[in-house]
């Protein structure tokens, strides 16, 4: 959705778009799965049942109430725009075997947004893991291995980054109940979601919300009178 700050949200009826800087997220080194995450990425549309419900606009209104008076400058963002983008992305992670499925294979990162939130839809068969962790900006981006603090492995799987410190962890809790949520200012902290396991196949479903000003390159769009127009 999109709209002017202080006004009722408008439904864009278009896919969510992310554009994250290379310094904020790992695409290869430090990531469990290599993928170009810092490019402009278009996400799948949510199911029609979700889009037709009251949930998207309700979540948009709640998230807008958490926006600061002044957004933090970002080089790829139109800071002069009166509009705010609220991308809502539904994500399901399935754990079926011994492979290391993870909600955030990129590890500790930022989203290129102003405010982000994660809302749990539900978990099925999960008995351990899946912690949401919030970190100070001093924490290096990427994955890490540890024999403490929620590790689920008997051997180290990836080299821990230089300057990694558990003292940088501000929040460590698994979302377990439907609609349980965590909200944070993405400009002030980093975050991740840890891997999980349980009675396989097990899964974790969440709604991820990203709030920010429009992208400078016009990648944010909405439908108006049957036409697709950029949000600037």
Please tell me the predicted confidence (pLDDT) of residue 154.
45
Tens digits of per-residue pLDDT, 97-145?
Answer: 877 678 999 999 999 999 999 999 999 999 999 999 999 999 999 998 7
Please tell me the predicted confidence (pLDDT) of residue 2.
63
Tens digits of per-residue pLDDT, 201-220?
Answer: 999 999 999 999 999 999 99
The 3 state secondary structure assigned to 53-122 is CCHHHHHHHHHHCCCCCCCCCCCCECCCCCEEEEEEEEEEEEECCCCCCCCCCCCEECCCCCEEEEEEEE
Distance CA 128, CA 196 (A): 6
Indicate the average pLDDT of the chain.
Answer: 90
Please tell me the predicted confidence (pLDDT) of residue 6.
61
Q: Which of 3-7, 20-24, 85-89, 151-155 shows the lowest per-residue confidence on average (mean pLDDT)?
A: 151-155
Sequence length of the chain is 232
The stretch 5-27 carries a mean pLDDT of 89
**CA geometry: angle at 8 spanning 4 and 12, to 5°?**
70
The answer to whether the beta carbons of residues 16 and 210 sit under 8 Å apart is yes
Distances (CA, A) of 3 to 48, 63, 232: 21, 13, 10
| Residue 5 reports pLDDT greater than 70 | no
Distance CA 228, CA 221 (A): 6
Tens digits of per-residue pLDDT, 191-204?
Answer: 999 999 999 999 99
The stretch 37-46 carries a mean pLDDT of 94
Distances (CA, A) of 146 to 79, 87, 161, 186: 40, 33, 11, 25
Please tell me the predicted confidence (pLDDT) of residue 145.
74
Tens digits of per-residue pLDDT, 45-86?
Answer: 999 999 999 999 899 888 888 999 999 999 999 999 999 999
């Amino acid at each position: 959705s999109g709209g002017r700050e202080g006004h009722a949200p408008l439904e864009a009826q278009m896919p969510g778009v992310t554009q994250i800087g290379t310094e904020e997220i790992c695409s290869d080194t430090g990531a469990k799965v290599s993928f170009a995450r810092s490019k402009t990425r278009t996400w799948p549309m949510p199911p029609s049942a979700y889009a037709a419900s009251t949930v998207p606009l309700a979540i948009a209104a709640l998230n807008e109430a958490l926006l600061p008076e002044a957004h933090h400058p970002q080089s790829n963002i139109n800071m002069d725009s009166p509009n705010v983008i609220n991308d809502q992305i539904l994500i399901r992670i399935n754990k079926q075997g011994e492979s290391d499925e993870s909600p955030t294979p990129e590890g500790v990162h930022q989203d290129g947004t102003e405010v982000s939130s994660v809302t749990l839809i539900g978990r099925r068969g999960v008995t351990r893991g899946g912690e949401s962790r919030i970190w100070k900006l001093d924490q290096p981006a990427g994955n890490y291995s540890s024999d403490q603090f929620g590790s689920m492995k008997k051997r180290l799987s990836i080299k821990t980054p230089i300057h990694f410190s558990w003292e940088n962890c501000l929040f460590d809790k698994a979302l377990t109940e439907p609609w349980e949520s965590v909200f944070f200012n993405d400009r002030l902290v980093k975050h991740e979601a840890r891997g999980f396991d349980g009675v396989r196949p097990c899964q974790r479903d969440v709604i991820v919300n990203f709030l920010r000003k429009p992208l400078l390159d016009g990648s944010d769009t909405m439908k108006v009178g049957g036409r697709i127009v950029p949000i600037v």
